[in-house]
Amino acid sequence: MKLKHFLTALLILISSIGFSQLKTITNQTSYPFWINVPKAESTEKQPVLIFLHGKSLSGTDLNRVRRYGVLHAMDKGRKIPAIVVAPQLAKGSWNPDKVLEILEYVKKNYNVDESRIYVCGMSLGGYGTLHFAGKHADKITAAVAICGGGNVSDGCKLSTIPLWIQHGDKDYIVPMSESQKVVNAIRKCNEKANLIFSIIKGGNHGNVERLFHEDALYNWLFEQKRE
């Protein structure tokens, strides 16, 4: 049994090595947040990836933010070549200006490549992503919004940056029409906008979380660069 306990402890240690630089930042910005900085950060400018969670992860326990999404993918071994930032919302909806406050804090305190700043989110975080991009498109490079929605009035602003909007066709919590309305508004403003709208066949409000564990989302984001 002692050997079994030793091996279990060793596996836990090994699995935690990838998160050796993951830490929390509290009392510095309106939202507390997790941050993970690549080891190369001290010598090279790094992209920034902001992840906005959905309603079920709201609260005052930052560990909840690791239950799904980008941090969950990292916990399962995914290496992300960026400064990963994952704030927590206590309640209500994401405030674009408070998300910007975190971005400005990270830019001030870390070695950031300002031509490569990305935001992604799911559900309430999908709304938060499009609200943030709709108000502060000039601050970010590209965004991915999953099973969320946004403001139709932001269509023209959203058309100025690369966007990938994804929604399951079996989502009965946030209907796909929520994403479709924003997509229509963007295309109405600029039919040549750099916009991908992916309808996920059989996707419901929960199983689209798998997108955070696949290469496509990250490959697409990190290919985008602002001139």
Q: Give the residue among 150, 101, 98 at the shortest CA–CA distance from 121.
A: 150
Tell me the residue ranges of DSSP E strands in the chain.
22-25, 33-36, 46-52, 83-87, 112-122, 142-146, 163-168, 195-200
Q: State pTM to two decimals.
A: 0.89
Secondary structure string (H, E, C) spanning 145-202:
EECCCCCHHHHHHHCCCCEEEEEECCCCCCCCHHHHHHHHHHHHHCCCCCEEEEEECC
How many residues are given for the chain?
Answer: 227
Q: What is the pLDDT along the chain (227 residues), one digit of tens a residue?
A: 455 444 444 444 444 444 447 899 999 999 999 999 987 655 789 999 999 999 999 999 999 999 999 999 999 999 999 999 999 999 999 999 999 999 999 999 999 999 999 999 999 999 999 999 999 999 999 999 999 999 999 999 999 999 999 999 999 999 999 999 999 999 999 999 999 999 999 999 999 999 999 999 999 999 999 97
Q: Give the residue among 75, 47, 58 at the shortest CA–CA distance from 225.
A: 47
pLDDT for position 78: 94
pLDDT for position 7: 46
pLDDT for position 43: 75
pLDDT for position 11: 41
b/e map 196-216, b = 16+ CB within 10 Å: ebbebeebebbebbebbeeee
Give the span between the Cα atoms of 27 and 77, in whole angstroms: 29
pLDDT for position 44: 84
